[in-house]
Structure 1
Amino acid sequence: MRDVIVIGAGAGGPVVAKELAARGLDILLLEAGPRHDQPREQWTHFENDANNPLTGFFRLGPADRSKPAWYREWPQNSFVWQLSGIGGTTQHFYGNYPRAYPGVFNDYSGADAGNYDRAHQFPFGYAEMVPYFEWVEATAPVMTAAMGTKEEVFFRGCESLGLPVQTTKTTREPSYRPQENAILQPGGNAGRTTDTNLLQYPRATGCTMCGFCFQGCMEPVNAPRNQFAKRSTDNSYVPMALTADVWAEHGKPVELIADAYVTQIHAEDRGGTLTATGVTWRDNATGHKRREDAQVVVMAGGCTENPRLWFNSGLPNPNDWVGRGYTDHFFDWLIGVMDHDTGSSKGPGSSARLDFPGYGGLENVGLPPALQAFSATLSDSGIRGEYDNGRGQPGTWDGPAGRLIGPELKDLLLNGVNRLLNVLVITDDDVEADNRVTLSSFPADENGPVARVQFQHRQRTMRTIRNREFMANKAAELLRGTGAKSVYRIDWAPLILHVQSSMRMGESPDNSVLDATAESRAVKRLFIADNSALPNAVGGPNPSLTTQALATRTAEKIFQRYFDGDPWVHSEAPTVSTDPRISVRLGELGL
């Protein structure tokens, strides 16, 4: 009998595992995908090697890449960008860690309160969340992003909008700033040279400005795993979980099993209360199944996989909200073409942002060539100059919105990615019940019926559409302010990277799956600790910090409720994930 079983080693699961292991609990952490324990031998910087959804090392699939990827059905024009493996989507994220806006919490009473989704608030106040934000910011650690040419150009556009520079971690007014991100700042030779012989640990530390964030971070060369620059959980929380007996006084190392697909959560009636008792997981390599029992089960498989597992386990869904409220940030994408260098492909992928609380935000995003081409072709407006499906109306950008193809796309890329400036539009979306995950009628795979992601793109609420149009026009104004000679709006179809709320916590049992502690209302001792637990779109900021802060809070609630423990976040400082004792132990373990 385990104390806690955690399902999923992406953004949230390792946080719960690390925190509870540090308090001496027996934790089993199961991950459906592979464990990349030697990235320099298993990864490359080539975009197709990493990101091909069928064959890439970041695909959604088992460790054995000769086997097919796992299929998910999405009936609309969209791309659900799921990853498997230790670290989950944090393996390819850009490490952006802004805090959720205060307006999405239930104690917010600002003059702009009506600009938020008041029907789906956090079921507690912002002040209660701040210590958990601070805990994660200290642990990861979160730092002010390294700056380069593309950030300088982006800020020039921000200045043209007449907005102030933000100097606090909490966003309360329209403003711009360097990102707060979970990437170690350049040290030593890093950021000062492109000579690969000089960019090796310990002569170089932190971000080496290589520009390959989306292909996974393995820099600097020869660095211990917990000193890799980007603080994806495979570089931060997972190493801490595996070595909790070294750095924590009462710690016990987590048992981590990869390539282990959980196919069922077990529950039984205990005195009239349905209670989680354990899981069955399948070894992807052998096909063998094994049952494990625990006092508490934590689901952290993601917004698509958690509902799928819930349904496949036959767990109750009394209010029909399991899988509903599947929200993204209604992304859009604008590209400015410059007649000067922007350094767009260099350095951290996204180191600058602009926020409009109540609407959303804008981020500069740098990309290598193949992803830059992809970004210009994912549209819901048709093809520029060829056909329009009713969405690509002209605006403050050049001509109608839509895909760039043929000579137009060729000219864009021949201009060079380092003469482009990309702006990602991130909106604050309403939680919509018709956006949901169900089980597909397509054939089941070896792990059971597969997920169907039903996602409304055109039928959004008026507030969500207003937010997107407002932010897209601000992005175009910003790019004009940088001196862009052309500005293209792509009008992205749903690109499911920032997704949340499919197992949402909430104030009302009528429209939420979880209570205010992230415990299931229908099944006791079953918790959720990833983006799917978020009650809303957090106002538009990237969700990773908020997810990990909430997961820290959830771990503390589990420890108090079921293991008679004391709270810790308000009483002690966390150990930073770059602790040298962790490096030594990882070396002893051959990691």
Structure 2
Amino acid sequence: MRDVIVVGAGGGGPVVAKELAARGLDVLLLEGGPHHTDPRASWTHYENDANNPLTGFLRFGPADRRKPAWLREEPQNSFILQVAGVGGTTQHYYGNSPRAYRGAFAGYEGPDRDAYDTAHAFPFPYAELVPYYEWVEATLPVQTAAMGTKETVFFRGAEKLGIPVQTTKDTLRASYRPQENAILQPGGTAGRTTDPARLVYPRATGCTYCGFCLQGCMEPVRAPRNQFAKRSTDNSYVPMALTASAWARGGRDVTLVPDAFVVRVHTRRRGGRTEAAGVTWRVGATGERHREEARVVVLAGGATETPRLWLNSDLPDPNGWVGRGYTDHFLDGVTGLFDEETGSSKGPSSAARCDFPGRGALEQLGLGPANQAFAMALSGSGIRGQYGNGRGMTGPWDGRAGRVLGPELKEALLHGVNRLVNILVLTDDDVERDNRVLLSAFPADEHGAAPKVALDGHARSRRTSANREFLARRAAELLREAGARRVYRFDWAPLLLHVHSSMRMGLSERDSVLTSDAESRWVRRLYVADNSALANALGGPNPTLTTQALATRTAERIFTRHFGGRPWVRAEAPVPSTDPRISAAL
């Protein structure tokens, strides 16, 4: 019997696995997708090769790219941008690691308290999570993003709007700042040359300004895996987990099994209560099924797959909230066309942001040509200048909102992406009961009934809609002030990139699945450590850092409650994921 089984090696699962293995526990980490052990042998920087949702090496599907992607039912016009495999969706994330806004937590009494979704606050104060933020920030590490031309343009617009600069990790007011990113700062020749021959480790360290964050990070050339610039978990927490005994006294290495899709969680009755007992997984390459027992099971498959697994396992759901409350930051895109070079596709892809507590956030977004065209053609409002569906609102952008296609798209991209600046709108959206994951009525796949993601992007709460409109207008105003000669707003259909809260912890047993320790309310020794555990949309900031801080806290609770250990976060200094002992062991 294992001490702990962790289901999912994405943003949160490896955090739990690493922390518990480093303290001597026997941890089995199961991942349904592939493990890209040598990205330079199998990855490219080509956008379609990487990001095609059906055939890309970063998709939600099996390791064998000749096989179809795994099914998700989406009855609305939406697109789930998630990745299977060791590292999960962090393989193509931009490393953005801001802390949540304080108003998303219990006990907040600031003057803007009522601007948040106070009905669904975290069940503990913000200050309680700060030490865990600090632990993760030191471990990854999280650093101030390297700056370039696009950031200069973004900051110019923010300053002209009169937005003050922020100098603290905690967001205290509306402000702009460089991103706090989980990307190593450029060192040596990195950031100083585009000559590939000079961008080789150890001559170059950290970010090489390649601009291909969305295609997975494998820079600098010849760097050990734990020295790759972007601190996706396959480059940070997973190497630490796999070498836990190399740097932690009494630690044990994690057993990682990729291509192992968990299809059922098993329970047992003990002392009159139901508790987790183990899991069954399916080997993708052969179809074989294996079962293993454990003292504790941690679900970390993501906000779509964790509720699916729960429901397919026939686990209890007495209040009906499993899969409900699916928040997504109701994303939108605004793009400015400039007469000057902006370097939009160069350097860390997202390195500047504006925060508006109680509303959400804006962040500069760099894209390559194919993804730029996709972003400009994604809309819920019809084609600009040709037809609309009643949603093509007007504002401080040119014309009506909507997708840009045909000659207009060609004109916008005529001089390439490096005369554009994109702004991603991150809306603080309400937890809404009817936005949810449930089981599809379509024929089951090899893993059981498929997930159905049901939400209506056009029927959000009044607060959510008002927040999105406020932020989109501020984004357009910022681009105008920065000197854009044309500004487009797209009114995106739901792009499900920042998804959370579908297995939420909460203040009330009536509308939450997890306790304040991220343990199931109805199945003991069953925990959740992915974005689905988040109580709400965090106020708008990117979710990964908060998920990883919460996963660290959850691991500590597991260790002290079930294995007789002592808390460590306030007593120890974290070992950085770039420690040379890890590199040597790998």
Task: Using structure 1 for the length normalisation, give the TM-score.
Answer: 0.99
Query: How many Å separate the matches in 2 of 1:364 and 1:310?
Result: 36
Question: 5 Å matches for 1:352-431?
Answer: 352-431=352-431
Q: Spell out, residue by residue over 1:234-264, the C-alpha distance to the aligned partner (whole angstroms, 9 max, x if none).
A: 0000000000001111110000000000000
What's the CA shift for 1:66?
1.5
AA aligned to 2:415 is N
What's the CA shift for 1:415?
2.8
AA aligned to 2:470 is F
Which runs of 5 or more residues in structure 2 are unaligned? none
Query: How many Å separate the matches in 2 of 1:121 and 1:37?
Result: 39
- For the residue of structure 2 that corresponds to 1:63, the secondary structure is coil
What's the CA shift for 1:128?
0.6
Match status 1:263 vs 2:284: no
Query: How many Å separate the matches in 1 of 2:172 and 2:456?
Result: 30
What residue number does 1:338 align with? 338
Query: How many Å separate the matches in 2 of 1:456 and 1:53?
Result: 22
Identity %: 70
Query: How many Å separate the matches in 2 of 1:483 and 1:127?
Result: 40
AA aligned to 1:11 is G
What residue number does 2:568 align with? 568
What residue number does 1:128 align with? 128
Query: How many Å separate the matches in 2 of 1:178 and 1:455?
Result: 33
What residue number does 1:108 align with? 108
- For the residue of structure 2 that corresponds to 1:194, the secondary structure is coil
Runs of 4+ with >2 A deviation:
none
What residue number does 1:176 align with? 176
What residue number does 1:308 align with? 308
The number of residues matched between the two structures is: 586
- For the residue of structure 2 that corresponds to 1:437, the secondary structure is strand
AA aligned to 1:16 is V
Query: How many Å separate the matches in 2 of 1:74 and 1:272?
Result: 39
- For the residue of structure 2 that corresponds to 1:230, the secondary structure is coil
Q: Spell out, residue by residue over 1:510-539, the C-alpha distance to the aligned partner (whole angstroms, 9 max, x if none).
A: 000000000000111000001000000000
- For the residue of structure 2 that corresponds to 1:383, the secondary structure is coil
What residue number does 1:532 align with? 532
What residue number does 1:589 align with? none
Query: How many Å separate the matches in 2 of 1:42 and 1:583?
Result: 21
What residue number does 1:56 align with? 56
- For the residue of structure 2 that corresponds to 1:264, the secondary structure is strand
What residue number does 2:284 align with? 284
Query: How many Å separate the matches in 2 of 1:3 and 1:565?
Result: 13
Give the RMSD, CA atoms, in angstroms: 0.5
- For the residue of structure 1 that corresponds to 2:550, the secondary structure is helix
Query: How many Å separate the matches in 2 of 1:498 and 1:383?
Result: 25
Query: How many Å separate the matches in 1 of 2:267 and 2:559?
Result: 20
What residue number does 2:46 align with? 46
Query: How many Å separate the matches in 1 of 2:418 and 2:50?
Result: 22
Query: How many Å separate the matches in 2 of 1:393 and 1:223?
Result: 48
- For the residue of structure 1 that corresponds to 2:274, the secondary structure is strand
What residue number does 1:497 align with? 497
Query: How many Å separate the matches in 2 of 1:457 and 1:390?
Result: 14
Query: How many Å separate the matches in 2 of 1:568 and 1:262?
Result: 30
Query: How many Å separate the matches in 1 of 2:265 and 2:577?
Result: 31
What residue number does 1:14 align with? 14
Match status 1:191 vs 2:191: yes
- For the residue of structure 2 that corresponds to 1:388, the secondary structure is coil
What's the CA shift for 1:36?
0.1
What residue number does 2:98 align with? 98
- For the residue of structure 2 that corresponds to 1:226, the secondary structure is helix
- For the residue of structure 1 that corresponds to 2:246, the secondary structure is helix
Question: 5 Å matches for 1:497-516?
Answer: 497-516=497-516
AA aligned to 1:2 is R
Query: How many Å separate the matches in 1 of 2:577 and 2:485?
Result: 44
What residue number does 2:449 align with? 449
AA aligned to 1:227 is Q
- For the residue of structure 1 that corresponds to 2:418, the secondary structure is helix
Query: How many Å separate the matches in 1 of 2:403 and 2:66?
Result: 33
What residue number does 2:156 align with? 156
Query: How many Å separate the matches in 1 of 2:82 and 2:138?
Result: 28
Which runs of 5 or more residues in structure 1 are unaligned? 587-591
What residue number does 1:275 align with? 275
What's the CA shift for 1:330?
0.7
Q: Spell out, residue by residue over 1:143-175, the C-alpha distance to the aligned partner (whole angstroms, 9 max, x if none).
A: 000000000000000001101110000001000
AA aligned to 1:475 is A
Query: How many Å separate the matches in 2 of 1:65 and 1:417?
Result: 29
Task: Using structure 2 for the length normalisation, give the TM-score.
Answer: 1.00
AA aligned to 2:4 is V
Query: How many Å separate the matches in 2 of 1:490 and 1:288?
Result: 46
- For the residue of structure 2 that corresponds to 1:426, the secondary structure is strand
AA aligned to 2:229 is A
Query: How many Å separate the matches in 2 of 1:416 and 1:63?
Result: 34
- For the residue of structure 2 that corresponds to 1:119, the secondary structure is helix
Query: How many Å separate the matches in 2 of 1:81 and 1:365?
Result: 16
Query: How many Å separate the matches in 1 of 2:471 and 2:553?
Result: 32
What residue number does 2:464 align with? 464
Query: How many Å separate the matches in 2 of 1:156 and 1:4?
Result: 50
What residue number does 2:324 align with? 324
Query: How many Å separate the matches in 2 of 1:321 and 1:272?
Result: 24
Query: How many Å separate the matches in 2 of 1:174 and 1:165?
Result: 9
What's the CA shift for 1:82?
1.7
Query: How many Å separate the matches in 1 of 2:309 and 2:149?
Result: 45
What's the CA shift for 1:271?
2.4
Query: How many Å separate the matches in 2 of 1:271 and 1:131?
Result: 35
Query: How many Å separate the matches in 1 of 2:357 and 2:307?
Result: 30
- For the residue of structure 2 that corresponds to 1:155, the secondary structure is helix
